[in-house]
Amino acid sequence: MNLVTPGLGLIFWQLVTFLLVLFLLAKFAWKPIMSSLREREESIEGALRAAEQAKTDMAKLKAENEKLLEEARVERDAMLRKAQQTSEAIVEEAKNKASVESAKIVESAKQQINAERQAALADIKRQVATLSIEIAEKLLRNQLKEEKAQRDLVDQLVKDASLN
Amino acid sequence: MNRKTFRKFLTFTHVLFFSILFSTTAFSQEHTETGEETEEEFKVSEMIMHHVGDSHEWHFATIGHTHITLPLPVIIYSADQGLEVFSSSKFHNESLSYGDYKLDEHDHIVSQSGRKFYDLSITKNVASLFLSAILLVVIFSSIAGAYTKNRGKAPSGIQSFFEPLIVFIRDDVAKPAIAGKDKHGRPKYEKYMPYLLTVFFFIWFNNLLGLMPGGANLTGNIAVTGVLALITLCITLFSSNKYYWQHIFATPGVPKWLLPIMIPVELIGVFTKPFSLMVRLFANITAGHIIILSLLGLIFVAKNIAVSAAIVPFALFMNLIELMVAILQAYIFTLLSAMYIGSAVEGHEDHDDYGH
């Protein structure tokens, strides 16, 4: 059985060569290969983790933006509503003021008209009075032109007075 | 070289291998038929044993009467002569002998005067071993260089061919088999990665080199697989913790009176595991070579070239299976080594009871 009888020389050379190859490869090949494989895997893992982190950060930022936007929208709506209310109030007030003013103007105009009328009436009365007096004077003058008439009047007057 | 071209390359080499093997043996066949020596009959088993066995010279091809061989150095150490180094071509004579030494029919060196000596020759297998060692060191240090050059960047070139394999050995072999963390908080498997990677690529490279035209059957040699299994055993024993030994000498859940039986069984188990590693790799690779060689040998046994129409496609199919077996056996050896080491280093906290 030549095949299953190990030869001494081959055992020796195999042991020496294999251990030498093992030593050389361990020192000059496997060590740098394994370390750089590990390094690369770590860097890939780190990059993936960073990407994941960036994604969540992005989502957070987006949500924050959304929230800000929503807040701004609400605020804007509130402001608009307030402005509308204010403008309505202003218009209302202006209307009120205008009606009050107009009422006042109308009132004062009425008063003035009244006063004018009063004045005109008074004037007319005075003129009528004057005219009546003048007429009466003239009439009296005319009636009491004669002596007799004057006497009659005085008599009359005296008579009236004595009767009282 | 990317994966696709690499595969193409391998397939190409195998087609080439067959055409060369076929043509060279065909030449020798012709030579037997037309030659004067009728005793040089074709013996399949001899041819197979010659191909799967070791040799003192690297024989590539025989064209006509010309053998294309590379003579390899013979190194012999003996207590009386000291170290002797000479070329194996010195044996190229009628008696196949040089001085006191002679090549026997198995291509082994024997002493004619019965002296005791140690044969440390650079045989075909040793030469192939050196070649694979150089290949491994050159390829993987260039890959390591690529890792330093494009640090943190995507792999490129040959680096991207080997990276999935390296990552596979780490993530699917070492990590699940060697669980837990050491007292510094580092995963335990990291310490054994250099051995596991080296043994995986060593076996795979040599399996593939063995399938190359004229390649040596290195991983199908019991000395080689034995040394690899021995190293796994040594690593297992030297890194074993008290739970490993507790498991052997006081197997949990086993009644006291059974221990006299269990302890020897468990102790034998320590050695049968690496023994199975040794035999599995040796038998798988050698068997693969023998199947292919037997198939091709059939052509010459039948002495009919028409037979090759059926044999060659089938041999090609077997060779493709061998390509798969090459990486599969490398994976199995690495996985089982990792599991044996894992069983020796596993702590009490990550101990599970199934299967024991």
Task: Band the pLDDT of B22: cuts 50, 70, 90.
Answer: very low
Percent of chain A scored above 90 by pLDDT? 61
**Do residues A12 and B120 make contact, with C-beta atoms less than 8 angstroms apart?**
yes
Residue B76 backbone phi and psi in degrees, to 5: -125, 130
- Is the confidence at residue B24, as pLDDT, over 50? no
Closest CB to A8: pick one of B106, B118, B228. B118
CB contact under 8 A, B121 and A11: no
How high is the pLDDT of residue B38?
Answer: 42
Task: Band the pLDDT of B242: cuts 50, 70, 90.
Answer: confident
CB contact under 8 A, B119 and A8: yes
The C-alpha of A48 sits at a distance from chain B's nearest C-alpha, in angstroms, of 14
Closest CB to B202: pick one of A3, A21, A40. A21
How high is the pLDDT of residue B67?
Answer: 81
CB contact under 8 A, B143 and A36: no
For B115, half-sphere exposure in the C-beta direction (CA atoms, 13 angstrom radius) is: 18
Which has the minimum average pLDDT: A91-95, B257-261, B327-331? Answer: B257-261
The C-alpha of A57 sits at a distance from chain B's nearest C-alpha, in angstroms, of 26
Nearest Cα residue to B106 out of B49, B61, B67: B49
pLDDT, greater one: A119 or B80? A119
Nearest Cα residue to B61 out of B106, B23, B90: B23
Residue-averaged pLDDT of chain B: 82
Taking CA atoms, A56 is separated from A44, A60, A62, B241, B307, in Å, by: 18, 6, 10, 47, 72
**Do residues B66 and B48 make contact, with C-beta atoms less than 8 angstroms apart?**
no
Length of chain A: 164
In chain A, where the domains are located: 10-163
Using a CB-CB cut-off of 8 Å, the residues of chain B touching A45 are none
B303 — alpha (psi -120 to 50), left (phi > 0) or beta?
left
pLDDT in tens, A134-153: 888 888 888 777 888 888 88
CB contact under 8 A, B120 and A8: yes
- Is the confidence at residue B105, as pLDDT, over 80? no
Using a CB-CB cut-off of 8 Å, the residues of chain B touching A20 are 133
How high is the pLDDT of residue A11?
Answer: 92
Task: Band the pLDDT of B254: cuts 50, 70, 90.
Answer: confident
Provide the edge-to-edge strand list for the sheet that holds B101-103. Answer: B97-98, B101-103, B109-111
CB contact under 8 A, A37 and B166: yes
In chain B, where the domains are located: 73-121, 125-345
- Is the confidence at residue A19, as pLDDT, over 90? yes
pLDDT in tens, B309-325: 889 999 999 999 999 99
- Is the confidence at residue B8, as pLDDT, over 80? no
pLDDT, greater one: B202 or B116? B202
Measured distance between the N- and C-terminal CA atoms of chain B, rounded to whole angstroms: 46
How high is the pLDDT of residue B184?
Answer: 83
The Cα–Cα gap between A149 and A133 comes to: 20
Ranges assigned E (strand) in B182-264: none
pLDDT, greater one: B222 or B90? B222
Which residue from B minimizes the CA distance to A33? B144
Average pLDDT over residues B228-240: 93
How high is the pLDDT of residue A164?
Answer: 63
How high is the pLDDT of residue B41?
Answer: 66
The C-alpha of B318 sits at a distance from chain A's nearest C-alpha, in angstroms, of 22
Which of B117, B195, B222, B280 would you mutate first to test chain A, the one with the most A CBs within 10 A?
B222
Average pLDDT over residues B30-56: 65
Measured distance between the N- and C-terminal CA atoms of chain A, rounded to whole angstroms: 196
How high is the pLDDT of residue A98?
Answer: 93
